[in-house]
Structure 1
């Protein structure tokens, strides 16, 4: 395994409405690195900058200043096309709300990233999508539309979709926040199993301290700065 961090942020700042009287800096020169295969919880109070940080890591927003290396490559200076290419190739996303297309089947939703990246879905990609749906326990739901699935099942489809391009890193923003306790536990156990079996790195934004205690590492943001970054005691991992 390479010694180069999977992601490495240095002195990252983000200011909204830059140059205007209501300019607001929400990230204040933070440093963060995540290695391949890590499972990291990103926690903090509302307004601490968690989602902004995740959007920057996910190449969905540009930082105001600082450096961001993804697999050793500097992201600052890339044009929108370059960022889109790397986002599709290197990153998977799971959100609180699954964002499945209602007119698409579960299988079609999972193959959507391949369709967007290449304009078509190959037989190999369709086969991989089926394998992923099987891995998340939905082999019997390939042709079902989101309206025919429970909330937990829909989120499992979203997880399979995030993995279909085999990214080294998945970013999950409150992936269990819209689920009941039982479904939340099922989805979190699935993320952990994928992490162990496939070696995929995860950065999971959560407000749930119970779930944070089951990650390998806890990063806490307070007022746009990292207030804590430490491993979770082994007994907390499940």
Structure 2
């Protein structure tokens, strides 16, 4: 970190400092795709992560999501330094602190909507408690899917499937939800519908969101915009919304 850079906020939900990521280490084809990224995410923020294809957005999101290991730098999540953690510790932190929404919903086709939403509880604890099942029902109902809980993914529209995925990401009450192009596979109307639900869940639950999007309309409806270009943060600014 530069000596002129401000000290990291110990209260921050997530702090990245000089994060670098290289692939093919030690080989002639070695390439660094993140070049010293520093970023702080506070609790309750709703952040758009944008940038051209190949800018490193997905790599950065995978590092934040504890799915990839950075080559150098520091990543602190909920006050815990993740660099040096073993796979078991990373898995435990990921399951307890993070929720994920992807471009493709990745719902299990043989499971009902409710069963898909309760899957994180089953994976984490080996069972689904009555309280967790009721929480999953409440999430689905709040997302307009009360009548679809027993339906399988093939019986749902694309927008409905993605709302099931949102409920699944939120069911374990994560501190941070990472959404990678969550509307990228939907038409405009469905994209707007899903984004409205993301914002509503953020407002109601106070969950922190980092959303990767290529859609400038959706990015403009976030509260903060972080732009990545060629593996570096080129812009980081708050978005001012007109009063309605």
The TM-score by the shorter chain falls in which range?
Answer: over 0.9
For 1:157 and 1:224, locate their aligned partners in 2 and report how far apart those are by CA, in whole Å.
32
Q: 1:4-45: per-residue Cα shift (whole Å, max 9, x none)? A: 110000000000101110011000011001000000000000
For 2:80 and 2:53, locate their aligned partners in 1 and report how far apart those are by CA, in whole Å.
31
Q: Secondary structure of the equivalent of 2:38? A: strand
Give structure 2 stretches of 5+ with no counterpart.
Answer: 1-8
Q: Secondary structure of the equivalent of 2:36? A: strand
TM-score by length of 2: 0.95
- In the alignment, which residue of structure 2 is the partner of 1:214? 221
- In the alignment, which residue of structure 1 is the partner of 2:208? 201
Shift of 1:57: 0.2
Kindly report structure 1 stretches of 4+ aligned residues shifted beyond 2 Å. none
Is 1:138 equivalent to 2:145 in the alignment? Answer: yes
Is 1:8 equivalent to 2:6 in the alignment? Answer: no
Shift of 1:3: 6.0
Q: How many residue pairs align between the two structures?
A: 236
- In the alignment, which residue of structure 1 is the partner of 2:135? 128
Is 1:77 equivalent to 2:73 in the alignment? Answer: no
Q: Do 2:10 and 2:79's aligned partners in 1 also have CA atoms closer than 8 Å?
A: no
- Aligned counterpart in structure 2 of residue 223 of structure 1, from 212, 227, 230: 230
For 1:3 and 1:140, locate their aligned partners in 2 and report how far apart those are by CA, in whole Å.
44
Q: 1:86-111: per-residue Cα shift (whole Å, max 9, x none)? A: 10000000000000000000000000
Give structure 1 stretches of 5+ with no counterpart.
Answer: none
- In the alignment, which residue of structure 2 is the partner of 1:65? 72
- In the alignment, which residue of structure 2 is the partner of 1:32? 39
- Aligned counterpart in structure 2 of residue 118 of structure 1, from 107, 118, 125: 125
For 1:71 and 1:132, locate their aligned partners in 2 and report how far apart those are by CA, in whole Å.
24
